A and B are shown apart, each in its own frame.
Chain A
């Protein structure tokens, strides 16, 4: 733990930016999975495109919220 704190002291610049980079990993993977599988589903069943697209955007919105929370936090807790 103390090694991590010492390393954090040595970092110059914004730790918030590093934090946001870490926070964006999970949602990035999630959004990729959603759109990848959504496009695959549309390709397999083109007649279901409207239903798939609607559900895809709901999933996208819920996943993306995590990344956006990460974006807002540095402004809230400077």
Chain B
């Protein structure tokens, strides 16, 4: 069952007291039928939105920085605000002195993820693209490749494994326990949790809004209790949408900040 089918079913005459149960939304609201296909690739709504979002982000920064002036115009000032935020709040505290070199990657990551999340708020689209697990998984994979490469490039093969598995400054017997845990955590669990954190937050947020919106329509019925509950449910849908605005920003920030801290740890010299 795809998202369109659920929408059609919930738009029907299914209301409270009309003898039908609540059409609760499930994971199927994230599955879309292909809209059109380019060659062998079938393009669905999330894929199309990802492409559009990428174009928007590119266009914005192109407009801001292609002809950068000493006295910034309006768009350039906005772009510089974003740049300074990423540099001063994420790159420098997390990576340290070398942080400025990695700001372009953090900028890409932060603004692309934020805009993908923000699609949940845009009317008529209203789908956080990152609620499809492929998108966060790809971001996590690219970040994993970057910080693993940096670890071994900076510390060599043995030093790289020491960086990953042996945190310094602990009594000897702890390492028997800690080394396997650190190795597992740094190599396998990190990219996995990066993916799940972003994906599940957006997934849960979208699901909550869907439950309250469909609930509001379901509760519309010729009774005072039904109408009062429908109003409350609709209000909750709006409140959750506003709450999601914060979460969207926060998740993009946390994702970028964790990647930055992993890169910072990879660049740390062995003691």
Contacts and interface: CB of A to CB of B under 8 A. Distances in A.
A53 B261 CA distance: 15
Contact of B197 (A50, A51, A65, A75): A65
B201 A68 contact: yes
Nearest to A57: B254
Interface residues of A, number: 15
A48 to B, nearest CB: 12
B197 A68 contact: yes
Contacts of A54: 89, 93-94, 257
Given A68-B197, A69-B196, A61 B258 contact: yes
A75 B94 CA distance: 34
A36 to B, nearest CB: 18
Interface string B93-122: 110000000000000000000000000000
Contact of A57 (B27, B199, B253): B253
A35 to B, nearest CB: 13
B43 interface: no
Contacts of B197: 61, 64-65, 68
Contacts, number: 41
B235 interface: no
Interface in B174-221: 193, 196-197, 199-201, 203-204
Given A54-B89, A57-B253, A65-B193, A71 B258 contact: no
Nearest to A67: B200
Interface string A50-64: 110010011011101
A57 B250 CA distance: 9
Given A71-B204, A75-B27, A58 B196 contact: no
Given A51-B93, A54-B89, A54-B93, A68 B257 contact: no
Contacts of B93: 50-51, 54
A66 B253 CA distance: 19
A72 B131 CA distance: 12
A71 B254 contact: no
A58 B200 contact: no
B193 A58 contact: no
A71 B200 contact: yes
Interface of B: 27, 89, 93-94, 193, 196-197, 199-201, 203-204, 250, 253-254, 257-258, 261
Given A58-B257, A69-B193, A69-B196, 10 more contacts: A50-B89, A54-B89, A54-B93, A57-B250, A57-B253, A58-B258, A58-B261, A65-B196, A68-B200, A72-B200
Interface of A: 50-51, 54, 57-58, 60-62, 64-65, 68-69, 71-72, 75
11 contacts: A57-B254, A57-B257, A58-B261, A61-B197, A61-B258, A62-B193, A65-B193, A65-B196, A68-B200, A68-B201, A72-B200
